[in-house]
Amino acid sequence: MEDSKNPMFNAELKVTLQLGGWYIHKDHEGLLWRLTEKKDHSCKLTHEDPVTGASQALEVAAGDIIGKLKITKAKPPKLWPSADLSKSFLNVTAEEEHRKASIYLLLWEAYHNKDTDENFIKVVQQPGKGFSMYAACGIPQHQLILMPFTDQVSKLSFVQPKGKEFGQGSFKKMKFFILPPKTMKEGDHGPEGSFCPFFHCKAGSSTGNMEPTTIKYKDLQIDGLHNLRPLAQNEEISVVASVTELKVVEASSSKKRKKA
């Protein structure tokens, strides 16, 4: 009976008054108020302007609480610190994408100038077993160059992928990795996807004819493959399983896709 005569008790039957909680006041639309103090006949709240930092106090009498205060789950506005904001502008957050794009363009140039094409290889797809490659003509030693490349900038990474199939290289001593492109397949209107010979050069036996090499192009060094000896026409192309030493090939700036 005594509690029912207390205006704050009656107010709290309708509006939960929680210290530190956030409230909306009917006469101050658009502002969030934090409950800082509960008194016998009123409560105190504060609002802080996130831009100016100015604080505003408000005292609500017990008799006005039910009609004017409402608890809310809304969060107050936040002023981002300049130090954090400076790290979020695109000239910073997109820096890695810019580096990837720069590397991708150089990779495209190197691939265009050095990698093989349909004049040098024949490709056979074996259902369930992937692709096999064969020399389309006689190819002199070290003239068949295979390097990793892909179909999207997003498939370049500065962190080593978890899978086993990827290429790699370095740009100004910064290591990067290349995931394979979407593999070529027969579609309703012709071939779909891409074919990167590097990713389909299978490991052979000691009779294999391709060995690891480092391809240098401008600021790039790319781990690729080249033929360790001359290839005969129609000879299957495969990597010598026992060879691990990398040899260096300087990539020319001019296209050399001419049939030997």
**174-178/156-157 β-pairing:** antiparallel
**What CATH number has the domain bearing residue 62?**
2.30.30
101 and 46 assigned to the same domain = no
Give the 3-state secondary structure of residue 131.
strand
Is 85 within a domain? no
164 and 220 assigned to the same domain = yes
109 and 157 assigned to the same domain = yes
105 and 14 assigned to the same domain = no
Is 255 within a domain? no
- How many domains are there within the chain? 2
Is 239 within a domain? yes
94 and 218 assigned to the same domain = yes
Q: Which residues pair with 145 in a beta bridge?
A: 226
**What CATH number has the domain bearing residue 187?**
2.170.270.10
Is 260 within a domain? no
What is the average pLDDT value for the chain, to the nearest integer? 88
Question: Is pLDDT at 253 greater than 60 in this prediction?
Answer: no
Confidence bin at 66 (pLDDT 50/70/90): very high
Is 183 within a domain? yes
Q: Which structural domain, as residue segments, surrounds residue 9?
A: 3-71
DSSP assignment of 156-189: EESS--SSS--EEEEETTEEEEEPPPPBPEEETT
Tens digit of pLDDT for each residue in 11-24?
988 899 999 999 99
pLDDT at 217: 95
Confidence bin at 258 (pLDDT 50/70/90): very low
Is 67 within a domain? yes
Residues in contact with 9: Cβ distance below 8 Å, sequence separation at least 6, in sequence order: 3
Give pTM, 2 decimals.
Answer: 0.68
154 and 218 assigned to the same domain = yes
The last residue of one of the domains, among 12, 38, 71, is 71
| Mean pLDDT along residues 75-89 | 91
Confidence bin at 3 (pLDDT 50/70/90): low
Question: Is pLDDT at 204 greater than 80 in this prediction?
Answer: no
168 and 236 assigned to the same domain = yes
In whole angstroms, how far apart are CA 249 and each of 115, 149, 174, 214? 12, 17, 19, 6
149 and 96 assigned to the same domain = yes
137 and 14 assigned to the same domain = no
Residues 199/121, Cβ–Cβ less than 8 Å: no
Torsion of CA 88, 90, 91, 97, to 10 degrees: 110
Is 62 within a domain? yes
DSSP assignment of 1-33: -TGGG-HHHHHHHHS---TT-EEEETTSTT--E
